[in-house]
Amino acid sequence: MSFIKRIVKANNFILFVVFVAIVVIFQILSGGSFLTVVNIRNLLNSTVVVTLLAVGAGFLIISGHIDLSAGYTGTLCGMLIAYLIMRVEVHWIPAFFITLVVAMIVGFINATLIHKLRFQSFIATLAMGMVCGGFAYLVNNGDSIPIRREVADAFINIGTSRIYDTVPSSVLIAIAALIIYGIILSKTRFGRKVFMIGGNPTAAHLSGINSVKISYALFINNAALACMAGSLVAARTLSGQIGGTTAQNFSGITAAILGGVSFGGGSGSISGIILGLLIISSFDNGLRTMRVGVQWSLVGSGLLLLLALTLDYLRSDASFLRRRKNRAG
């Protein structure tokens, strides 16, 4: 039991050790090509998208819910913004806000299915994910929509420009998201309410907290962040693609849980999510550097998710035993 307690107390330290180990192993296996400027830039690029998905997923999981539609929502938004810019000839700024509204509607529908129709969150959001994936295909019959630089140069620069010709400027978006949401989660009344409704819904209700209203806000926020992620992918690849952020659908959830966000709700932190993000992105990037087949990349991602769930189980079990011991004492 003391071993489990040490795991719980030193969770962030262990995650940091795992991250360092992944970097060292892939640096050795790749013959030194893992820690090159080009590959680090690719790593940062991939981390930005997963960061937006992980932050939204983390808030929802802390509140006791989960959203399996975020990756598909991002893909739909990437296709839609490309369609609006290139086919309808809408300037990229209003095109983005139109797309953002569509994403927020998806989040609103998710919350309505859960709180009004009493669907389980994973079933409702999985169904909405399939709907969004279908609409993404219908936008252009499954074909990608190229975005020409002369039409939307500023939009493309958001995803492709670099600071000092090295660090992707989109990293600033990820950093801003982590800082803003970190402050919201740890320093505001709203953040405390999120923890309360996830950790003890009954106590939250008796305290007068409108958990349904907060849940609506979190689902809409998660969809909005997915829209930003999908738009960034479109700007970076210069096209709306049917793949979009679909492949990262579980990456945000995995990063959040691996970083200490309890699958049962009520606990988690942005610092832990950051470590989870570094592990997920480094592992995935390392496999690509090694030119591992897609099937093995999927196996690795699945194993990381299982690791995240296992750590969450150990943390929850240790927490339960500690509370029972305190009551007995």
pLDDT digits (tens, 9 = 90+) for 212-263: 999 999 999 999 999 999 999 999 999 999 988 998 888 899 899 888 888 8
Asked whether residue 110 carries a pLDDT value surpassing 90, the answer given is yes
pLDDT reported for residue 321: 53
What CATH code is carried by the domain that includes residue 214?
Answer: 1.10.3470
pLDDT reported for residue 1: 47
Mean of the per-residue pLDDT values of the chain: 88
Q: What percent of the chain clears pLDDT 70, i.e. is strictly above it?
A: 91
96 against 45, higher pLDDT: 96
**What domain range includes position 294?**
2-328
Instruction: Report yes or no: 79 and 145 within 8 Å, Cβ to Cβ.
Output: yes
Q: What is the pTM of this model?
A: 0.90
pLDDT reported for residue 264: 81
316 against 303, higher pLDDT: 303
pLDDT digits (tens, 9 = 90+) for 56-91: 999 999 999 999 999 999 999 999 999 999 999 999
Residue whose tokens read 């479109």: 234
Number of domains in the chain: 1
What's the mean pLDDT in 263-286? Answer: 88
Asked whether residue 105 carries a pLDDT value surpassing 70, the answer given is yes
Alpha-carbon torsion (276, 21, 304, 233), positive or negative? positive
pLDDT digits (tens, 9 = 90+) for 145-193: 999 999 999 999 999 998 887 788 999 999 999 999 999 999 999 999 9
